[in-house]
C-alpha cells in the first residue's frame, strides 16, 4: 500500500458518493483549500483529521495511518501541465514570473515568498460581466540570510 493508492481511493469514493470538498472541510474543521490538498496527497493530517476523513471515505485503519505520513509532494504528471485549468497557473508563472520577482524585491529586498508558511483562499467574485475566480495568497516573506 502507498499514499498514492489512498489518494486514488479517496478520489474514487468522492465520485461514487457525490461528496463535496467544502463539506469534507467543514467536517475536518479546516479550510477547503488545505483539506482538498491534504486529501489529494499534498499535506499531512493529524490522527483526528485522518479519522474523520477515513469515516467519510470508508478508509481502513492502515489507510488512515498513511494520511498521517508526510507525502512525497507534487501533484502533476508532467513538468508542464497539460490540463488547461492548471496550465493557466503555469502560464501566469511564465508571463508574470519576473514581475513577481521585481515587485517583491522592490518591496522587501532579497528573499522569497514562502510556499510553506503559506495559506490561500479561493472564492467566487460576482461580476455582471461574468463571475470571476478570486484567489488570495499569503506567504511569509523570508529574507536571504547573509553570514
Residues 68-127 that bind a second copy (CB under 8 A): 69-70, 72-120, 122-125, 127
Q: Contact with a second copy (CB under 8 A): which of 27, 31, 51, 52?
A: 31
Residues of span 7-26 touching a second copy by CB under 8 A = 8, 11-12, 15-16, 18, 20-22
Decide: 121 and 33 in contact? Cβ < 8 Å: yes
- Strand partners for 112: 142
Q: 31: which 3 cell numbers?
A: 479550510
CA contacts within 13 A on the Cβ side of 142: 9
Least distance to a second copy from the beta carbon of 129, Å? 8
Q: Smallest distance, Å, CB 78 to a second copy?
A: 7
CA atoms within 13 A on the CB side of 129: 0
DSSP-assigned letter for residue 71: P
Number of residues counted as binding a second copy (CB under 8 A): 100
Minimum CB distance to a second copy smaller for 55 or for 60: 60
27 part of the active site: no
Q: Which of 8, 48, 55, 91 is catalytic?
A: 91
- Shortest distance, position 48 Cβ to a second copy, whole Å: 12
Residues of this chain, 52-71, that bind a second copy according to CB under 8 A: 62, 65-66, 69-70
34 binds a second copy (CB under 8 A): yes
Of the candidates 43, 66, 44, 42, the one whose C-alpha atom is nearest the C-alpha of residue 54 is 66
Residue 114 annotated among the catalytic residues of the structure: yes
Of 43, 45, 54, nearest to 119 (Cα)?
43
Nine cell digits for residue 74:
507534487
Please give the positions annotated as active site.
88, 91, 114
Amino acid at each position: 500500500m502507498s499514499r498514492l493508492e489512498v489518494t486514488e481511493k479517496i478520489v474514487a469514493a468522492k465520485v461514487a458518493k457525490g461528496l463535496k470538498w467544502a463539506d469534507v472541510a467543514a467536517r475536518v474543521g479546516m479550510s477547503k483549500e488545505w483539506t482538498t490538498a491534504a486529501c489529494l496527497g499534498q499535506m499531512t493530517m493529524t490522527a483526528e483529521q485522518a479519522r474523520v476523513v477515513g469515516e467519510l471515505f470508508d478508509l481502513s485503519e492502515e489507510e488512515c495511518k498513511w494520511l498521517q505520513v508526510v507525502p512525497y509532494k507534487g501533484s502533476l504528471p508532467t513538468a508542464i501541465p497539460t490540463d488547461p485549468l492548471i496550465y493557466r497557473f503555469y502560464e501566469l508563472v511564465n508571463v508574470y514570473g519576473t514581475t513577481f520577482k521585481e515587485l517583491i524585491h522592490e518591496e522587501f529586498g532579497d528573499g522569497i515568498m514562502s510556499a510553506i508558511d503559506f495559506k490561500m483562499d479561493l472564492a467566487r467574485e460576482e461580476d455582471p460581466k461574468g463571475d470571476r475566480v478570486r484567489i488570495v495568497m499569503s506567504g511569509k516573506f523570508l529574507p536571504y540570510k547573509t553570514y
